[in-house]
Amino acid sequence: MTSLPTSTAKKLGLVIDLDTCVGCQACATSCKEWNAQGDSGPLTDTDPQGANVSGPWFNRIHGYEVKEQGQENSRIVNFPRSCLHCEEPACVTVCPTGASYKRAEDGIVLINPDTCIGCKLCSWACPYGAREYDYTQGVMKKCTLCVDRIYNTNLEPEDQVPACVKACPTGARHFGDLGDENSEVSQLVKERGGYDLLPEIGYKPTNKYLPPRARRESPLAHVEPLPKSSGSPMDRLFSWADKLLSASSSSQRVDAPDHSGKLEG
Amino acid sequence: MNPAYSVILFTTASGAGYGLLGLLGFAGASHGRASSLGFAFTSIAIALALITLGLLSSTFHLGRPERAWRALSQWRSSWLSREGVLAIVTYPVALAFLAAWSGLVDAPALIAPLGWLVAILCWFTVFCTAMIYASLKTIPAWNSRLTVAGYLVFSGATGATWLTVIAYCFGRFVPFQSILACATILAALLVKFIYWLRLDKRVKTFTMANATGLGEGVRQWEVPHTSENFIMKEMGYAVARNHARRLRRYCLFLLDIAFFLMAFAGDHPWLSFIALPVLMLAAWMERWLFFAQAEHVVGLFYGKPAV
């Protein structure tokens, strides 16, 4: 049924910390690795060993350069993007076959690969680019929130989290029930001002993003100009040595790669 | 959006087919039994052939066409499913109407109700097709009543021109047919003109700054892939935008030609033979632009400043 449940008992989802994400791609590769053999597998790639490898990924990491107002320098924000398991996702309601559905018990949005006809309309309805077409199998694929891990009692309790959360080395990804006000993830969202992506579309995404923290202004972040020479004999000796050394090194091409293995002093 | 030829052929061919079938139903409802068996059978056959060509073409867009029957199940929530259900229901009703209208089955009392039913089913099927696109909030260019108006007027204009051509072949031409074609082509011209005007004047309200939540001064620095992915192929179609303006002019020009040909078709009905291919080409171009010029909000995450 592609009609949405009126409410879900839980709202399982992710909270992604844009402040601590280092863009290492561990979540994306771990996701692909787990899901290639899991519920949605196989996640086949076309031309897997060739130059134009292409295939579905449930999680993709953008890198954005942000130049904040009043800041001299820009900063890099790594931005993981995956299914937000929205409360009112049109990707589910547009599905003509019922292959797309939202679970009433935990709010996870899934696709049944056995009934999907590959019409791609759900990917058009998703503003977040979360649904990708599997050209090999002719069906749509998407993040399952690792539904085959989080309830899997064959795994150790600490492994019963989505593969991306388990893999993140900086703890930038948090998994939990966002419908429960007292859950750790809900508290985190409250403390850090977690926000929705494109709330104006009206799908009410469950996943939240924690904004990068305000940058601290450190005096050490600025390069101090060199002190002027006082004209003492010692200073003149150093300036003579500096000139001598500069002249000998300028004979070398500046852009030539240094293979000496020595560190610059 | 990627202008898939299977979808363009589907919407233009079945649009013309439903337009023609609807008008035949309307003709039957207002005039009673068809003037000849040949006219009734040929006209309905051409309409159903156009519809079937379109529907078959649409299945080429599917990854798993053998499962297409499943698309009839979710009519409660999905416009695509509703379109499928109405398309299937229209076939038996059209055949029943044909039987009564042609006189094959002697039931003159059934011609009018069946004619109206066919016309309404055709109108609603095209309406559902348009709503598939018009209901998507993710594609601001389509999320408008003008999308629905565009699909309906093009269906009416192409259907009316087909009707003129077929009626002329069977010696059943009446000026009303060419006047109707003329009026609907003019409506198509107006609707598309307003649609494109709105598209150009629209303030792009979705911005990369808002979508990412990172504020003004955000730009893409590193892409999330090492080679082209599905989202870029499907939503990131940019080739057409370079030629869009010229193609629009050609499309409006072809519509103008079709309009004038049909305006003179009242006295010289053979002109509709030229008008029909001109109009179908214009419809094809319009549909291609409809897809190629539509921007999807997911582009914001891929570095597009505003959509």
Asked if A117's CB is within 8 angstroms of B230's CB, the reply is no
The model's confidence at residue B241, banded by pLDDT at 50, 70 and 90, is low
Comparing CA positions, the residue from A2, A64, A21, A7 lying closest to residue A204 is: A7
What are the chain B neighbours of A121 within 8 Å (beta carbons)?
80, 132
Question: Tens of pLDDT along A178-224?
Answer: 999 999 999 999 999 999 999 999 999 999 999 999 877 666 666 66
Asked if B78's CB is within 8 angstroms of A2's CB, the reply is yes
B111 vs B295: CA distance, rounded Å:
45
The pLDDT of B145-168, averaged and rounded, is 97
The pLDDT of B99-107, averaged and rounded, is 94
Test mutation, A119, A141, A204, chain B, max B CBs within 10 A: A119
Dihedral, B68, B69, B71, B72 alpha carbons, nearest 10: 160
In chain B, residues 278-307 whose CB comes closer than 8 Å to chain A: 296-298, 300-302
Give the amino acid at B26: F
Cβ atoms of A80 and A59 closer than 8 Å: yes
Asked if A124's CB is within 8 angstroms of B296's CB, the reply is yes
Measured in residues, chain B has a length of: 307
Q: How high is the pLDDT of residue B261?
A: 96
Dihedral, A115, A120, A121, A123 alpha carbons, nearest 10: 110
Q: Does A118 touch chain B (CB under 8 A)?
A: yes
CB nearest B230 (choices: A1, A96, A132): A132
Q: Does B84 touch chain A (CB under 8 A)?
A: yes
Query: Would you give per-residue pLDDT tens digits along chain A (265 residues)?
Result: 678 998 899 999 999 999 999 999 999 999 999 999 887 778 888 888 888 888 999 999 999 999 988 777 889 999 999 999 999 999 999 999 999 999 999 999 999 999 999 999 999 999 999 999 999 999 999 999 999 999 999 999 999 999 999 999 999 999 999 999 999 999 999 999 999 999 999 999 999 999 999 877 666 666 666 777 778 888 888 888 888 888 765 555 455 555 554 444 3
Comparing CA positions, the residue from B92, B99, B206, B86 lying closest to residue B143 is: B206
In whole numbers, what is the pLDDT of chain B averaged over residues?
94
Provide ipTM, 2 decimals.
0.93
Question: Tens of pLDDT along A28-48?
Answer: 999 999 999 887 778 888 888
Asked if A125's CB is within 8 angstroms of B78's CB, the reply is no
Q: How high is the pLDDT of residue B55?
A: 95
Question: Tens of pLDDT along B118-154?
Answer: 999 999 999 999 999 999 999 999 999 999 999 999 9
- The helix/strand count (H/E) of chain B reads as 10, 1
The pLDDT of B103-113, averaged and rounded, is 93
Q: How high is the pLDDT of residue A264?
A: 43
What are the chain A neighbours of B230 within 8 Å (beta carbons)?
54, 56, 123, 132-133, 135
Asked if B227's CB is within 8 angstroms of A127's CB, the reply is no
What is the least distance, in Å, from the CA of A205 to any CA of chain B? 13
Asked if B79's CB is within 8 angstroms of A94's CB, the reply is yes
Cβ atoms of A174 and A190 closer than 8 Å: no
Test mutation, B11, B67, B131, B135, chain A, max A CBs within 10 A: B67
What are the chain A neighbours of B84 within 8 Å (beta carbons)?
96
Asked if B137's CB is within 8 angstroms of A77's CB, the reply is no
